[in-house]
Amino acid sequence: MLFNLKFIAENDLLKFEKNSALVKFFIDTNKLERQLINFFDSLNLKISDFQKQSFLDKKNDELVYHNSSGEPSIIFIKKLKIDKEFNCDFFRNFFAGLIKSLSNKNLNSINIVTPIYEPFRNYFDSIAYLIQTIIEGIFLGNYTFDKYKSDKSNSKNLSVKIHYTDKIIVKKIIDETEKIMSSVYFARDLVNEPPITLTPIELAKRAKEELKKHGITVRIFDKNELKKRKMNAILAVGNGSNNPPCMIVCNYKPNKPKKKIALVGKGVTYDSGGLSIKPSSGMSDMKADMSGGAVVLAAIKLAAMLKLPIELIAIVPAVENMPGGNSYKPGDVIVTSSGKSIEVKDTDAEGRIILADALYYASLQKPDQIIDFATLTGSCVVALGEIAAGLFTSNDDLAEKLYKAGMKTFERVWRLPFWNDYKLMIKSEIADVANLGPRWGGAITAAKFLEHFVDEKIPWAHIDIAGPAIKHKSNNYTERYDTGFGVRLIIEYLKNI
């Protein structure tokens, strides 16, 4: 991490220690000049006409003021316009960028003046959530994955003081957000770990080690157990690797749970494509093909930390998809644990195959809902880009609630068609279903494939996170490392069931 962060709730009174920074927001109105002057007067500081006019210029929206006469040492002033371009990710994204820019500055603390809530009422459902996005942004921008660098610097200590009228509210927000981001960090650390170290069994070990701290029971179905349970889909995909497959099953059960929900996550710790091998350019990001698994493991951890009144089962089929003498082959037919058979047309469509056994196992647990996360298809990225996940479900209520959770957290999902017409595209002449359809509608046919293995009586949603799970340049907190997309989304959903 760039900094060892310590968040502190403060009231409106500004007090500065040595080597401190201050962050202040102004809304672009016709009162801006007077507000700016009054602000500097309140600090007994003088802003030059050049600085003032530069900041007031419509082309500029930031002012960095270096104070040579005392504290704060530096002031970051941000001008914002609440228009059609503004969204609920503004503060999260701004602070993710700001915290990175502070890494080469010798600061001990940063003071943040919480903006007045009223102008932002249409974007945040409470002042508490606005403050939460500020803290999330700082955590997200502070994240690094440098454990294998020999020349890495030690993290510096940085106090982050959130100034707001009600310190009790801020303390509560800090406590909850630190738990949320601890789980996001857990997911990101798993996703960014190189596949040479994060094998299927290693993923299971790390999950068990972390989750048992929070009272979560973890079972690991090894290769022998998978054979006993006739989970031939997981076994087939994992056969080509020297690192054996497994399935991770976690359970969090509070007293008197309101619902029982199964979360299923694709756990392909590395995907070469198998015998239908990828080009080398397509392999470099494939350590992140277990992002869905990381999401559900982090989500169950967070649910336990927040003491949510919902029983959760997290299920992660974990494999490496590698070419070898024992690899499964195009043309194979796999009989899954459900008894349904799969014709293999392409070994690079492996995620849906291992999820077949996992989703069937989830159905046997008789949950009230099943939600799966998977970096399943490039087709979904073609359709939606890297900024949104594809949502597939026949349940309108489930779709609406997941959509709302995504809009609030800015981990957005977009519902795609899920008509039965698409089932015809994966019909097989020699098995119950083929693992690949024609070129068109690939994200949808992949979802329809999964539907074969879910109990139709159980509300189910499939979330294809192939785009937003991988690092991308859409904002300040996704550009350097794989993202952990989905943790904040699903916990927001679970909190509101």
Q: Which residues are catalytic?
A: 278, 352
Cβ(345)–Cβ(435) under 8 Å? yes
Residue type, 102: L
Residue 376 has, within 13 A of its CA and on its CB side, a CA count of 31
Q: 318 by DSSP, 3-state: which?
A: strand
DSSP assignment letter at 377 = -
Peptide bond into 244 cis (omega under 30): no
Strand partners, 392: 462
Closest CA to 86 of 133, 60, 122: 122
* H/E element, 413: strand 413-415
Residue 65 has, within 13 A of its CA and on its CB side, a CA count of 28
Residue type, 215: G
Separation between Cα atoms, residue 387 and residue 475, nearest integer Å: 9
Alpha helices per DSSP H over 9-126: 32-42, 49-56, 90-101
What is the Cα Rg of the chain in Å? 25
CA-to-CA dists, residue 490 to 18, 261, 284, 335, 394, angstroms: 41, 11, 27, 32, 18
Hey, how many other C-beta atoms are within 10 angstroms of the C-beta on 94? 22
Closest CA to 76 of 91, 87, 66, 84: 66
Cβ(166)–Cβ(14) under 8 Å? no
Q: 249 by DSSP, 3-state: which?
A: strand
Separation between Cα atoms, residue 382 and residue 385, nearest integer Å: 6
Cβ neighbourhood burial of 152 (10 Å; 0-12, 13-18, 19+):
exposed
Residue showing tokens 């409106």 = 12
Cβ(70)–Cβ(60) under 8 Å? no
Hey, how many other C-beta atoms are within 10 angstroms of the C-beta on 369? 21
Q: 464 by DSSP, 3-state: which?
A: strand
Please give the structure tokens belonging to residue 329.
């082959």
* Distance from chain centroid for Cα 167: 29
